Chains A and B, each alone.
Chain A
Amino acid sequence: MNTQKTILVVEDEKSLRDVIVDILKIKNFNTLEAKNGIEGVEMALGKHPDLILLDLIMPEMDGMTALKKIREDAWGEKVPVIILTNLSATDEQLVEDMVTHKPIYYLIKSDWNLRDVVAKIEKILETQNAI
């Protein structure tokens, strides 16, 4: 795996954020952390990470709003995003937003263990490298 890849983790729950960051570090990723949507957008647009792991329900700015803002940016338009949330897509507007702003994955936290999520991250980045 490319050790230079940087992952931005946007997650308001510190304990979960720490676990994700720890696992990513073990896998030799560089990590950036943001605890809400505002910080996430600033960090994404300022640091240009290789991939963003994004929670949806967060204080100050929710994840979908943050994703919209990131997608408005020329760089952010194509950055791979994985949504990691406990929010089911049972709302029409959420589905519309999801389809419009196209994360690569919309993963329900309770259904996925973090190692599988990291495996998906690795696969996405490998694919991007190949391209």
Chain B
Amino acid sequence: MIRILKTKHPLFAAHIFLLFVLCAVFYAPANIYAAPEVQTTSAGLISKVAPGELLPISVKLLNFGNGSKVDVSISYKITDMEGKAIYSAEETVAVETTATFIKTIQIPFGTIPGQYIAESSIAYNNQVAPATAQFSFTVEKKIFGLFQSDFYLYGGILILVSIIVGVISHFWIKRRRTMRFAPEDYSDIPHGERVFYELISDTVMGMRAQVGESALDIAKQIDGLVIDEKTGRVLKLTAKPSKVVAELVSGYEKALGKKVSFSFRNS
């Protein structure tokens, strides 16, 4: 009697291992030995393989022979779901009671993606019918080292995450810009001076939009101008307002080489 078992080990997702335990029993009516045992060894399982890649199969033969080596013929075959063989091979191994080895089968390069069956069978001595074991696996093309389905899955996730990050960034930048470049309100400043506050504030804001934070640094150095270091809001003018404006414009021209245009708010 021959028994064949296959087990899957859940811990090794990256590889397929088929545990293929073949237990051969001498067909002898007067057998004086212990009943044959079936042992399994754990093996990882891979469910997908790409054309051209190797499919590993773990094979274990148990309880063959009677203390002396015997030859066991093993046939390997890979067929599609309609039974059409895309690969077949045969080898003979010498077994002394037990034998464990990994057989690797190269999936032909031209294999059409789909579901396939790997079948192994042994023929031994007076065995009437060969013992067989089989398992199914998927052949799938790879794109940039990833299986096609994984590539699309990860690609989809990446695109989705990118879109989400992009949208969040867009609104965050827009909000930040809106906050930074929103005109400051100076309605609490007396009318005569307010126009200067607005003019300076809008000028600093406009230059910040053009050249960045250096516009704020230059403004901070203008005598008579006290501004909020973060927002650029004009806090106080301690010198003649028109002088502050002229010096600010002059400062930007000297430091940045840029002339300053103005726009006046409606009042």
Residue B109 interfacial (CB < 8 Å) = no
State which of A24-32, A37-45, A68-76, A87-95 sits at the interface with chain B: A87-95
The residue in A92, A95, A103, A105 that gathers the most chain B C-beta atoms within 10 A of its C-beta is A95
Over the window 114-147 of chain B, the binary record of Cβ atoms lying under 8 Å from chain A Cβ atoms (1 yes, 0 no) is 0000000000000000000000000000000000
B261 touches A112 (CB 8 A): yes
- Quick check: is B238 within 8 A (CB to CB) of the other chain? no
Q: Number of B residues contacting the other chain (C-beta, 8 Å)?
A: 20
Complex formed: what's the CA distance from A75 to B262 in Å? 24
B89 at the interface (CB under 8 A from A): no
Q: Is the CB of A90 within 8 A of B253?
A: yes
Q: By DSSP majority rule, is chain A's interface helix, strand, loop, or mixed?
A: mixed
Q: Is the interface of B mostly helix, strand, loop or mixed?
A: helix
B242 touching A99, Cβ below 8 Å: yes
Q: Which among B41-49, B51-59, B73-81, B244-252 touches the partner chain?
A: B244-252
**Residues of A within 8 A of B (CB-CB), count:** 22
Assembly CA distance A107 to B258 (angstroms): 12
Q: Is the CB of A89 within 8 A of B264?
A: no
Also in contact, A99 and B195, with CB within 8 A (given A88-B249, A104-B264, A105-B264): yes
The 3 closest A-B pairs by CB, nearest first: A106-B262, A95-B242, A108-B259
Interface residue ranges, A against B (CB under 8 Å): 86, 88-96, 98-99, 102-108, 110-112
